[in-house]
């Protein structure tokens, strides 16, 4: 085997190619909006993350490239402002989401961002499906009563079931 192959490889290992520069994923409009929110709500920290998420008590995460960036950012801010720190039952989660979307509507007005009823409803539908899935009886498949964060009561089987 020619020595040059070895030396080439070694050289490559010593000087790896420079990583491509991190592209700026936030559009100018979104970047400005983010700066406005940081100034208006200094009690919270805004950080890029893998999804839009409010982590109690102070952190709001966002995805830089999302097409609904401003709306979703206001939605997480709504959770933060409403103090949504915990929930016990799936149904409470649904109520929390409903409240947060109401608050998002207000925030949209305050910050002159178009609110999308359709988008809010489709997000809520995702939670409705999720709650529905969570409350199905593992034995018979009927919808159960939610007793607490761990258990369900199936009126058909007449027994308590652990949540999936
Ligand atoms: Zn939410
Ligand atoms: Zn059942």
Concatenated DSSP letters of 124-143? HHHHHHHHHHHTB-TTT-PB
Q: In angstroms, what is the span from residue 149 Cα to ligand 2's centroid?
A: 18
Average pLDDT along the chain, 164 residues, taken 10 residues at a time? 50 62 81 96 97 95 94 97 86 92 98 96 93 91 91 95 84
User: Tokens representing 154?
Assistant: 């199936």
Counting ligands in written order, the one closest to the CA of 156 is: 2
pLDDT at 117: 96
pLDDT at 3: 46
pLDDT at 11: 52
pLDDT at 71: 97
Asked if residue 2 lies in contact with residue 9, where contact means CB atoms within 8 angstroms, the answer is no
Counting ligands in written order, the one closest to the CA of 136 is: 2
Which residues keep their CB under 5 angstroms from ion ligand 1? 97, 100
Counting ligands in written order, the one closest to the CA of 141 is: 2
CA atoms of 92 and 98, how far apart (whole Å): 10
pLDDT at 30: 95
């Amino acid at each position: 085997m020619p020595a040059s192959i070895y030396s080439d490889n070694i050289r490559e290992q010593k000087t790896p190619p420079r990583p491509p520069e991190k592209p700026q994923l936030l559009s100018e409009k979104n970047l400005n909006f983010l700066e406005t929110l940081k100034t208006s709500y200094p009690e919270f920290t805004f950080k890029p993350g893998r999804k839009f998420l409010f982590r109690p008590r102070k952190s709001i995460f966002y995805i830089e490239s999302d097409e609904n960036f401003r709306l979703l950012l206001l939605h997480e801010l709504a959770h933060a402002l409403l103090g949504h720190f915990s929930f016990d039952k799936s149904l409470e989660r649904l109520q929390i989401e409903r409240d947060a979307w109401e608050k998002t509507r207000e925030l949209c007005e305050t910050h002159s961002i178009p609110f999308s009823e359709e988008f809010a409803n489709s997000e809520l539908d995702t939670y409705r499906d999720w709650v529905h899935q969570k409350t199905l009886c593992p034995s018979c498949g009927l919808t159960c009563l939610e007793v607490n964060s761990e258990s369900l009561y199936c009126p058909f089987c007449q027994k308590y079931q652990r949540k999936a």
